[in-house]
């Protein structure tokens, strides 16, 4: 009744192989989701993103690193050599 026949073992092996490969395909598909966009310009823009902070003097947002003086008195950022 619950005997192991060659036909049952082959079907069981095929089911296990199908489930195994199904998980591999789903894993590969999910691994690539969200990694790259179709537009390379979007990827470049995301990699160039910077944190911004609000200038107390002129109320504009400037990059947190490399911010330049706005020219107003009391600006907290260093003046560049061009001014």
**Residue that the structure tokens 């005997």 belong to:** 3
Q: pTM above 0.75?
A: no
- Residues of the chain with pLDDT > 90, as a percent, come to 27
Helices (H), the chain: 6-32, 40-47
Q: How confident is the model at residue 35 (pLDDT cuts 50, 70, 90)?
A: low
For the stretch 43-74, pLDDT in tens is 665 667 778 888 777 788 878 787 777 777 77
Q: How many other CB atoms sit within 10 Å of the CB of residue 62?
A: 19
């Amino acid at each position: 009744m619950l005997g192991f026949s060659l036909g049952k073992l082959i079907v069981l092996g095929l089911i296990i192989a199908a489930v195994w490969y199904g998980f591999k395909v789903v894993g590969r598909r999910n691994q690539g989701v969200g990694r790259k966009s179709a537009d390379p310009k979007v990827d470049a823009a995301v990699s160039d993103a910077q944190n911004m902070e609000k200038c107390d003097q002129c109320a504009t947002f400037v990059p947190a690193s490399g911010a330049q003086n706005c020219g107003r008195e009391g600006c907290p950022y260093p003046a560049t050599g061009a001014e």
